[in-house]
């Protein structure tokens, strides 16, 4: 049976964070940096990191269980699990398969996708297609990241930024006119060299960029990414609003990927959206990559910020380079 005339919306949300807090003062002891520099240049005060022996999927499992419960369904009801990650514990099995097994979602197909920090927006865009066509009823998208495991802890340009978390949503059919009203995703592979994280192959150029022992770490041209991010978040937000014949005045809350407070301020300033419409988490959690939007969403839901009918924007950018936006009419 086709769902083509029905909406696709978020039925449940959940998140999970490691218990260990790493403050800027802790980082002062590791690299040549200061609490003052990190706060002023990034807006980050502290972040959560997994200990060395704990896999990222443990966070993913907790977030998934919470999202399923919040949706009022059981794990056996899930038809598909998509995990968005650029820091998987294993290449094989995928984090999605690990989570599927651990939560007992026996009926669900499962796969990982990588669109770096834009992953969550890509994930819900893909999930929406399966539900719209009627192929599946309940699809879970989990942003599950352990960036601390691929961070160069000797590189002050990156180690003060990244952290660990997971955030999950369950998507399913909702009343027409509610849920995901539009999405817009894009990529520019010709600029892929601005953020890299080698895996099975390492080019000489990757080795050159990584002076320290561990070569399988993230390297980034921070200023290039910052300029791209501000521009593309404005562009992607305007594109998805235009398609729905809405304006920035119609936006109740905007959930951007949270990489740096200066990027967020720059983007909302260009859009003419007040900063108090952004549920901020960057100060306490750092850059948690594809988990940042669902974690911020979960906190907004749990603190009763959202009401039925609110227009939400999800907008992300990241390695690839990639970007994406979604317009969601909140339906819970
Ligand atoms: O999730 C998507 C991926 N990542 C991002 O979105 C990150 C985007 N970029 C950024 O957030 C910013 O570009 C950074 C926070 C990474 C850097 O901020 P910036 O204002 O662009 O600084 P910069 O790279 O231009 O560096 C300015 C100075 C440099 O020193 P010199 O060359 O001027 O002497 C850096 O070496 O700041 C220095 N610096 C630091 N100083 C103290 C860089 N990192 C640090 C640090 N502590 N942690």
The string of pLDDT tens digits covering residues 292-319 is 999 999 999 999 999 999 999 999 999 9
Question: Does the pLDDT value for residue 1 go beyond 90?
Answer: no
**What structural domains and CATH numbers belong to the chain?**
7-177 (3.40.47.10), 180-329 (3.40.47.10)
Question: Cα(324)–Cα(110) distance, rounded to whole angstroms?
Answer: 22
In the numeric block, which tokens belong to residue 280?
């901020």
Closest ligand 1 atom, residue 160 Cα: 48
Tell how far the Cα of 147 is from the centroid of ligand 1, in angstroms: 18
Of residues 312, 297, 288, the one with CA closest to residue 237: 312
- Segment 116-142 shows an average pLDDT of 97
Q: What is the pLDDT of residue 91?
A: 96
Q: Candidates 44, 121, 157: which one to mutate for ligand 1, based on the most atoms within 8 Å of Cβ?
A: 157
Question: Cα(165)–Cα(159) distance, rounded to whole angstroms?
Answer: 16
**In 18-110, alpha helices (H):** 24-28, 35-42, 56-71, 95-103
Closest ligand 1 atom, residue 159 Cα: 48
Q: For the purposes of burial, counting CB atoms within 10 Å of the CB of 141, is it exposed (0-12), middle (13-18) or buried (19 or more)?
A: buried
This prediction's pTM: 0.96
Closest ligand 1 atom, residue 117 Cα: 1
Question: Does the pLDDT value for residue 3 go beyond 70?
Answer: no
| Other residues' Cβ atoms within 10 Å of the Cβ of residue 19 | 9
Phi-psi region of 134 (alpha: psi -120 to 50; beta: other; left: phi over 0): left
Question: Whose CA is closest to atom 16 on ligand 1?
Answer: 222
The catalytically annotated residue of 117, 144, 159, 331 is 117
């Amino acid at each position: 049976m086709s769902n083509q005339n029905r909406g696709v919306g978020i039925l449940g949300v959940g998140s999970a964070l490691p218990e260990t807090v790493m403050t800027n003062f802790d980082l002062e002891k590791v690299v040549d940096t200061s609490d003052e520099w990190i706060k002023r240049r990034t807006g980050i005060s502290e972040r959560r990191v997994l200990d060395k022996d704990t896999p990222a999927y443990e966070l993913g499992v907790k977030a998934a269980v919470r999202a399923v419960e919040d949706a009022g369904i059981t794990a056996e009801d899930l038809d598909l699990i998509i995990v968005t990650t650029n820091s998987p514990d294993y290449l094989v099995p995928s984090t999605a398969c690990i989570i599927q097994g651990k939560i007992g979602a026996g009926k669900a197909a499962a796969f990982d996708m990588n669109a770096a920090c834009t992953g969550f927006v890509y994930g819900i865009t893909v999930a929406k297609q399966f539900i719209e066509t009627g192929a599946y009823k309940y699809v879970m998208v989990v942003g599950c990241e352990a960036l601390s495991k691929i961070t160069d802890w000797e590189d002050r340009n990156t180690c003060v930024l990244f952290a660990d978390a997971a955030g999950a949503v369950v998507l399913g059919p909702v009343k027409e006119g509610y849920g995901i009203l539009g999405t817009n995703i894009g990529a520019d592979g010709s600029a892929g060299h601005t953020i890299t994280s080698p895996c099975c192959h390492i080019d000489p150029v990757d080795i050159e960029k990584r002076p320290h022992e561990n070569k399988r770490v993230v390297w980034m041209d921070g200023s290039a990414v910052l300029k791209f991010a501000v521009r593309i978040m404005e562009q992607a937000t305007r594109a998805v609003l235009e398609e729905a014949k809405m304006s920035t005045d119609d936006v109740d809350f905007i959930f951007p990927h949270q990489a740096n407070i200066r990027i967020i301020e720059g983007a909302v300033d260009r859009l003419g959206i007040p900063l108090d419409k952004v549920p901020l988490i960057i100060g306490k959690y750092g850059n948690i990559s594809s988990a940042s939007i669902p974690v911020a969403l979960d906190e907004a839901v749990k603190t009763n910020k959202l009401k039925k009918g609110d227009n939400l924007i999800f907008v992300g950018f990241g390695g690839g380079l990639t970007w994406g936006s979604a317009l969601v009419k909140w339906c819970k």
